[in-house]
């Protein structure tokens, strides 16, 4: 079996694709890379957890954990250095079962995966309001949105295949696809999250403009075995082997949606509301305002039943791989083999949904393969839910049957805590024969 543990800076589990020994697990992110070589069967399982954001760094979190006092100046710096729109994301994938078969010149796969992901969006203006109150916005119509929270827990069953349509793995074209039937266990979905605040010039009245909608399913009586929705998805990819030294992969992942029609709750509010009261100088403890009155501005209208459709976190992955050194014939189990690979990966989310962000992500990695038994690698990345990350990974292939690996795409919290804003862990298990 192969075991690979990975801390990753975002939500993409790229160390699995950089490792040369896990075809079944890697094909979840690059469908056309499913290729068992001389093996006929591969059994695998995968666990992956990630958490990331673009603002709060590990150094600041450690300071809070130690109970050190945080000064007003430090909070000012944090708020003022926020981007106009900010994101926090987290997720967990557990591939309960995975099976790949090689029949003739085609490879087939089946997997069952539990997936959870969430993402929250918030604005710098909202944090400024919370920290310094509304007086700073006197005489202004201020956009406080987006203020949204989306989460989804699904169980998906996927059938996949990959095969060459021209040439071979030295020079040719290979395609792959995975069709997914998805059971929706629970979700929180905010299709609208607009919020504006207009403060009178004297600061003594607030006009709030709302247009938001939150829908949920399977939350109140959550049960991992109850399915409150159903959907479909597809992954598709193509690999162009331009030579035995250079390969380009392109994939579209998680294209699809889930429709929820059980245990549905809808909360929405739209319109303008005026609060007449004292100037608010700090939402964290100003004694001069009535918190209940302010909170009443945000209270939504609640309805039950109905249905809604929530998209998956769709993304496009582009990856180039340059290989050199050793015997490049992947069919040979050459004990003298020493190979090198350089990867360049670009990921673009097509929506801001759990597991995807429209902020682009770029990663570069190097992998050294010794005797087709050991992989050693390093990586660096930027973008996505995070800012910057550096990492390393290792994999072990015992007798070309049992495989083991451990790695990290995000060691930044250890190298430079003030730049580390995320982490993840991935575990891969596989047996090939």
Domains in the chain, start-ordered, CATH in brackets?
4-432 (2.40.160)
Q: What is the pLDDT of residue 249?
A: 95
Q: What is the pLDDT of residue 6?
A: 32
259 or 72: which leads in pLDDT: 259
Query: pLDDT digit string (tens) for 330-357?
Result: 555 555 566 899 999 999 999 989 988 8
Helix axes 72-80, 124-132, angle to 10 degrees: 160
CA dihedral 188, 194, 200, 202 (to 10 degrees): 50
| Whether pLDDT at 7 is above 50 | no
Query: pLDDT digit string (tens) for 350-401?
Result: 998 998 888 899 999 999 988 878 888 889 988 888 778 888 888 888 888 8
Q: What is the pLDDT of residue 73?
A: 84
Query: From CA 343, how far away is CA 321, in angstroms rounded?
Result: 5
pTM, rounded to two decimals: 0.84
Query: From CA 362, how far away is CA 384, in angstroms rounded?
Result: 8
Provide the strand spans (E) within 222-314. Answer: 229-243, 246-260, 264-276, 301-304, 308-311
Span of 85-89, 174-178, 180-184, 253-257 with lowest mean pLDDT = 85-89
Query: pLDDT digit string (tens) for 217-269?
Result: 999 888 888 899 999 999 999 999 999 889 999 999 999 999 999 999 999 88
């Amino acid at each position: 079996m192969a075991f690979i543990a990975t801390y990753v800076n975002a939500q993409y589990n790229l160390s699995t694709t950089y490792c040369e020994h896990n075809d079944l697990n890697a094909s979840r992110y690059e469908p056309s890379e499913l290729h068992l070589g001389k093996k006929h069967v591969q059994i695998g399982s995968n666990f992956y957890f990630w958490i990331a954001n673009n603002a709060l760094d590990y150094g600041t979190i450690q300071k809070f954990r130690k109970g050190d006092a945080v000064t007003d100046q430090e909070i000012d710096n944090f708020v003022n250095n926020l981007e106009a729109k900010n994101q926090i994301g987290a997720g967990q994938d557990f591939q309960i079962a995975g099976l790949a078969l090689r029949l003739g010149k085609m490879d087939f796969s089946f997997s069952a995966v539990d997936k959870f992901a969430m993402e929250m969006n918030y604005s710098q203006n909202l944090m400024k309001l919370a920290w310094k109150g509304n007086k700073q916005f006197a005489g202004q119509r201020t956009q406080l949105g987006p203020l949204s929270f989306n989460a989804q827990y699904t169980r998906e069953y996927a059938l996949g295949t990959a095969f060459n349509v021209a040439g071979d793995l030295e020079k040719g074209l290979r395609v792959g696809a995975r069709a997914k039937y998805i059971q929706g266990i629970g979700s929180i979905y905010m299709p609208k999250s607009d919020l504006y605040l207009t403060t009178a010039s004297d600061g003594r009245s607030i006009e709030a403009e709302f247009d938001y909608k939150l829908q949920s399913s399977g939350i109140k009586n959550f049960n991992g075995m109850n399915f409150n929705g159903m959907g479909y998805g597809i992954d598709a990819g193509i690999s162009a082997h331009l030579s035995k030294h250079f390969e380009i992969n392109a994939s579209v992942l998680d294209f699809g949606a889930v429709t929820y029609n059980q245990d549905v709750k809808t909360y929405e509010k739209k319109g303008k509301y005026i609060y007449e009261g004292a100037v608010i100088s700090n939402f964290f403890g100003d004694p001069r305002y009535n918190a209940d009155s302010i909170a009443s501005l945000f209270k939504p209208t609640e309805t039950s039943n109905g249905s809604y459709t929530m998209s998956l976190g769709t993304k496009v992955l582009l990856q180039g791989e340059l290989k050199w050194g050793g015997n490049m014939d992947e069919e040979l189990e050459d004990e003298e083999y020493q190979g090198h690979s350089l990867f360049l990966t670009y990921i673009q989310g097509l929506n801001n949904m759990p597991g995807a962000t429209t902020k682009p992500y770029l990663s570069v990695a190097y992998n050294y393969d010794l005797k087709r038994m050991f992989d050693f690698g390093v990586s660096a990345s930027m973008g996505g839910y995070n800012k910057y990350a550096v990492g390393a990974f290792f994999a072990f292939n015992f007798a070309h049957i049992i495989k083991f690996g451990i790695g990290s795409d995000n060691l930044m919290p250890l190298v430079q805590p003030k730049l580390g804003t995320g982490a993840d862990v991935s575990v891969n298990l596989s047996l090939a024969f």
